[in-house]
């Protein structure tokens, strides 16, 4: 383990804000133990401080007034999460109690920890790599079974092991190429050349698989975005409420009811789904409605699935669909013919991308839900099959590495001087190492840990 220098001693509340049975605070740094002994009055005085042993007693302020009954544990440097000397305090979970304890600790020389600083210390101490540090944030925010599964795989190290394997493969290729640098006059055996190119292709194939997994990985983490669009009065808000199973949006017979968009989260098959109800699109409408339509258009464009609602009781709806959809730049559109309860006969031969529904009688809604599930599942990778990339940062690094490896492969094919592909491969290696944090800089760390909150 690297010996990292944390000059300050830091403190933070590590449980969520608000009232609870118990709250916890963490102190890390060289003064952690001495600050604790100043403010902790153990019930059994002659026991002494033993690492990892829970002790019961009282937290007292500078004037020896008892603030709360607490349990506390001490972890020596090198044996804690942060790698620093560390103390954890478990007190009653009241807002004022934790505030007083934290203020007292700060008064005794500690400073407030920065967002993600505990985990950053763990990384700098070499206890976890960057992918694991990032997965701490993932597992904390995971609120569906799928996001939890991927976060757990990342936390347990399957992901960094996989990257380690790619790294080894890359280094093997690099070693082979570098070996030929020393013997420039020797002709490369065609068999060796063939083997080299097939090694390149194998590695590139694996990186391409990882890149492909990102689309689903992003959806697992950020949610599958469904936007409901259509003309005013088509029944968008009615459908939104039906899918949420609550009267969330206003529904009125007046066209132009929804102006601002409404966004809610639901869970479908263990996946996080973001449903957005938008303002109806039409040529007329006042200033407010027009603004709503502008935001509706951009939401419809970026959605993973658009549910395009059509009121089939309105005249000329078929013609309208054609012209309306020309304006929507999205390849994932499911047309919903709504209000079928109003028309005497069902419309004939709607295409495969169309479902007939009624928000009033709920006819067709379960078929719609099945179709939504199928579409989500089609974009999500098989979670049991392998490693899933969930971070945009990693996806970028894999893309950069891929570009460099492809360039190196081309240079080998064209039998260019081996220094050139070797250089590209070393650049690719750097990209992979920036994923796991073997190579890092303050800029990378800053961006990663800024996403954490204080206490993580």
| 284 binds ligand GTP per the rule CB under 6 A | no
Q: Least distance to Mg ion from the beta carbon of 237, Å?
A: 3
- Residue of the chain from 280, 364, 381, 455 that contacts ligand GTP (CB under 6 A): 280
Q: Whose Cβ is closer to ligand GTP: residue 116's or residue 232's?
A: 232
Considering only the stretches 111-119, 146-154, 229-237, 376-384, report the one whose residues sit in contact with ligand GTP under the rule CB under 6 A.
229-237
Q: Least distance to ligand GTP from the beta carbon of 245, Å?
A: 15
Q: How many residues bind Mg ion (CB under 5 A)?
A: 4
Handedness of CA 4, 137, 399, 172 (dihedral sign): positive
Alpha-carbon distance of 45 to 41, in angstroms, equals 8
| 237 binds ligand GTP per the rule CB under 6 A | yes
- Residue of the chain from 72, 160, 338, 391 that contacts ligand GTP (CB under 6 A): 338
Alpha-carbon distance of 65 to 74, in angstroms, equals 22
Alpha-carbon distance of 390 to 396, in angstroms, equals 11
**Tokens 């940062």 sit on residue:** 393
Q: Which residue is nearest to ligand GTP (CB)?
A: 280
Considering only the stretches 162-170, 358-366, 414-422, 430-438, report the one whose residues sit in contact with ligand GTP under the rule CB under 6 A.
358-366
Phi-psi region of 445 (alpha: psi -120 to 50; beta: other; left: phi over 0): alpha
Q: Least distance to Mg ion from the beta carbon of 248, Å?
A: 11
* Antiparallel, parallel or unpaired: β 111-112 and 66-75: unpaired
- Residue of the chain from 72, 131, 258, 391 that contacts Mg ion (CB under 5 A): 258
Alpha-carbon distance of 27 to 74, in angstroms, equals 10
Residue 261 structure tokens: 């968009």
| 341 binds ligand GTP per the rule CB under 6 A | yes
| 237 binds Mg ion per the rule CB under 5 A | yes
Q: How many helices (H) and strands (E) does the chain have?
A: 14, 13
| 295 binds Mg ion per the rule CB under 5 A | no
Residue 20 structure tokens: 């609870």
| 401 binds ligand GTP per the rule CB under 6 A | no
| 336 binds ligand GTP per the rule CB under 6 A | no
Q: Whose Cβ is closer to ligand GTP: residue 235's or residue 455's?
A: 235
Q: What is the 3-state secondary structure (H, E, C) of 181-232?
A: HCCCCCCCCHHHHHHHHHHHHHHHHHHHHHHHHHHHHHHHHHCEEEEEEECC
Alpha-carbon distance of 129 to 160, in angstroms, equals 8
- Residue of the chain from 342, 370, 415, 451 that contacts ligand GTP (CB under 6 A): 342
Q: Which of residues 102-141 bind ligand GTP (CB under 6 A)?
A: none
How many Cα atoms are found within 13 Å in the side-chain-facing hemisphere of 188?
A: 23
| 252 binds ligand GTP per the rule CB under 6 A | yes
Sites of contact with ligand GTP (CB under 6 A): 230, 232-238, 251-253, 255-258, 279-280, 338-339, 341-342, 358-360
């Amino acid at each position: 383990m690297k010996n990292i220098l944390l000059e300050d001693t830091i403190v933070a509340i590590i449980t969520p804000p608000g009232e609870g049975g118990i709250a916890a605070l963490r102190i890390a740094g060289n003064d952690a133990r001495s600050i604790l002994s100043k403010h902790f009055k153990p019930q059994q005085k002659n026991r002494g401080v033993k690492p990892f042993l829970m002790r019961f007693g009282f937290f007292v302020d500078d004037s020896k007034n008892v603030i709360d009954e607490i349990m506390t544990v001490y972890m020596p440097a090198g044996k804690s999460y942060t790698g620093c000397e560390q103390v954890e305090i478990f007190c009653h979970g009241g807002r004022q109690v934790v505030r007083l304890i934290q203020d007292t600790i700060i008064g005794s020389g500690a400073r407030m920890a920065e967002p993600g600083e505990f985990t950053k210390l763990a990384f700098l101490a070499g206890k976890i790599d960057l992918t694991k540090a990032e997965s701490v944030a993932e597992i904390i925010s995971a609120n569906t079974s799928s996001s939890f599964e991927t976060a757990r795989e990342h936390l347990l190290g399957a992901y960094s092991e996989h990257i380690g394997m790619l790294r080894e493969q890359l280094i093997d290729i690099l070693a082979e190429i570098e070996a030929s640098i020393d013997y420039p006059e020797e002709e490369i055996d065609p068999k060796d050349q063939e083997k080299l190119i097939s090694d390149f292709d194998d590695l590139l194939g694996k990186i391409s698989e990882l890149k492909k997994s990102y689309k689903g990985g992003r959806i697992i983490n950020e949610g599958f975005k469904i936007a409901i669009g259509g003309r005013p009065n088509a029944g968008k808000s009615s459908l939104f409420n039906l899918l949420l199973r609550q009267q969330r949006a206003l529904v009125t017979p007046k066209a132009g009811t929804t102006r601002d968009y409404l966004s809610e989260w639901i869970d479908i098959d263990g996946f996080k789904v973001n449903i957005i109800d938008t303002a109806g699109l039409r040529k007329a409408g006042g200033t407010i409605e027009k603004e709503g339509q502008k935001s509706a258009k951009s939401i419809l464009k970026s959605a993973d699935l658009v549910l395009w609602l059509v009121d089939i009781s309105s005249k000329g709806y078929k013609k309208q669909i054609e012209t309306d959809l020309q304006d929507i730049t999205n390849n994932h559109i499911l047309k919903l013919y709504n209000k079928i309860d109003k028309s005497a006969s069902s419309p004939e031969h709607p295409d495969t991308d169309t479902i007939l529904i009624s928000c009033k009688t709920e006819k067709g809604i379960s078929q719609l839900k099945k179709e939504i599930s199928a579409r989500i599942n089609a974009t999500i990778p098989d979670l049991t099959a392998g490693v899933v990339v969930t971070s945009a940062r990693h996806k970028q690094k894999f893309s950069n590495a891929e570009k460099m490896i492809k360039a190196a492969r081309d240079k080998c094919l064209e039998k260019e001087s081996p220094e050139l592909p070797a250089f590209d491969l070393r650049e690719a290696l750097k990209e992979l190492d920036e994923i796991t944090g073997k190579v890092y800089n303050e800029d990378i760390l800053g961006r990663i840990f800024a996403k954490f909150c204080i206490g993580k």
